[in-house]
Amino acid sequence: MPIVPSRSRRIQELLARLGSPVAAERDAAVAGLTLLGSRVVEPLGAFLPAAERAARLGAVDVLDRLEDRAALPLLLDLARDTHEPVARRALEAAGARQDARAASGLAALLGPEAPASRRRAAARALARLLAGGLVEALDPLAARLLDEREEAGLRVAILEDVLALEPPLSPASLRPLLKRLSASAEPELAELARAGSTRRAPVEDRLVADLVAPGQSAEAVARVRAALARRGAPAIPKLLRALEGLGPVRRGRTEAASLRARAAIHEALAALDSRAALYDLRETIEAHPRGVMPAFLRAAGRIGDASIVPALARAVAEDPPLLEPCAEAFAAIVAREKLKRTARSGKAARPEHRAALDRLWEKANRRR
């Protein structure tokens, strides 16, 4: 239908109001353009290159409400917008279009050159298309899932979306995918795949078991620790239960395997910014088991709690070669807590450890 002059003027007036600083005017412009239907798509395309951020965001709302197929290319263009809220809103809108062009357009935004948040939003939009029955959305998701060089957090997020699909993905498509992913080098992904195909313990339980298993390489432990950090708060009680199972630290009588497991747990808790096991961390640093002290001190520095200071002073007093690594943890605590020499934590150090504390302060001041 040709645009008559009066209607053309009306569209231009509404487009001009899309960028209004007054929310009510912007909302009215979105509503007015939506009512005019598909005839606004072409003027919107001409308007967008010079539009302000607020206007581009309003344009996404208009395009999202229009059922015209011509709206999709504009949404995919806006999904590449330099302004993150505009791009993410456009990705969400594109994920609601059951159109094969949406799948190919969103797949292009899954590439490693896109920002992490943009890739995550594109993956979520593709999962939404897949849930709606658009089978073309599966291939780009599967390609990211099966790429062992891909960022682990994105792969885990995609698999969680795929496993949560309603209706579920067909067994013929899901089973081969899960079988391959269960052999992944990424522990969280492998556990999710196994849990998705069988009745297994929660992923956090399996990851904690892997974390404390004997014979793990440093690289494997680091991968599991990163996976637990991505699981967030649900992993904390699992880690604490595993810590309790190790029993208390006994100076000179605790087995090396138990100490390594304890160190891995404390580093995992520190990665989650949890102070739930501070008492155990303090006691272990006071006992200063030499072979695994670097891990405990890394955890202490990352948590940055002032109550650890007396334990650091004691460790240095009783084992002077620990001065440098303890000073690094101490400096991190000073920076995070903005400690001064007059702080209560310093006064809590025993008299026989005060000289060691002074040496820690000297090191910290030099680092500044």
- pLDDT, tens digit (0-9, with 9 covering 90-100), for 231-247: 888 899 999 999 999 98
- pLDDT, tens digit (0-9, with 9 covering 90-100), for 25-84: 989 999 999 999 899 999 999 999 999 999 999 999 999 999 899 999 999 999 999 999
pLDDT score at 197: 64
Where is average pLDDT lowest: 103-107, 131-135, 252-256, 334-338? 252-256
Q: What average pLDDT does the structure give for the chain?
A: 89
Instruction: Decide: 164 and 201 in contact? Cβ < 8 Å.
Output: no
Domain layout of the chain by residue ranges: 201-273
Nearest to 154 by CA among 176, 125, 193, 124: 124
- pLDDT, tens digit (0-9, with 9 covering 90-100), for 72-95: 999 999 999 999 999 999 999 999
pLDDT confidence bin for 1, thresholds 50/70/90: very low
pLDDT score at 317: 92
What six digits make up the tokens of 122?
Answer: 């594109």
Answer with the residue of higher pLDDT: 3 or 336.
336
pLDDT above 50 for 362:
yes
pLDDT score at 301: 93
Residue 90 vs residues 26, 31, 106, 131, 367: alpha-carbon distances, Å: 17, 18, 11, 19, 47
Q: How many whole angstroms separate alpha carbon 241 and alpha carbon 86? A: 44
- pLDDT, tens digit (0-9, with 9 covering 90-100), for 171-212: 888 889 999 999 999 998 998 898 876 655 678 888 999 999
User: pTM value?
Assistant: 0.65
Q: What is the dihedral of CA 263, 266, 272, 274, to 10 degrees?
A: -170
- pLDDT, tens digit (0-9, with 9 covering 90-100), for 277-325: 999 999 999 988 878 899 999 999 999 899 999 999 999 999 999 999 9
3-state secondary structure of 73: helix
Average pLDDT value for residue range 331-347? 81
Residue 57 vs residues 110, 130, 247, 285, 362: alpha-carbon distances, Å: 22, 26, 56, 53, 54
Q: How many whole angstroms separate alpha carbon 175 and alpha carbon 285? A: 47
pLDDT score at 64: 93
Is residue 198 classed exposed, middle or buried when 0-12, 13-18 and 19+ CB atoms within 10 A define those classes?
A: exposed
Q: What is the dihedral of CA 194, 200, 206, 209, to 10 degrees?
A: -130
Average pLDDT value for residue range 256-270? 93
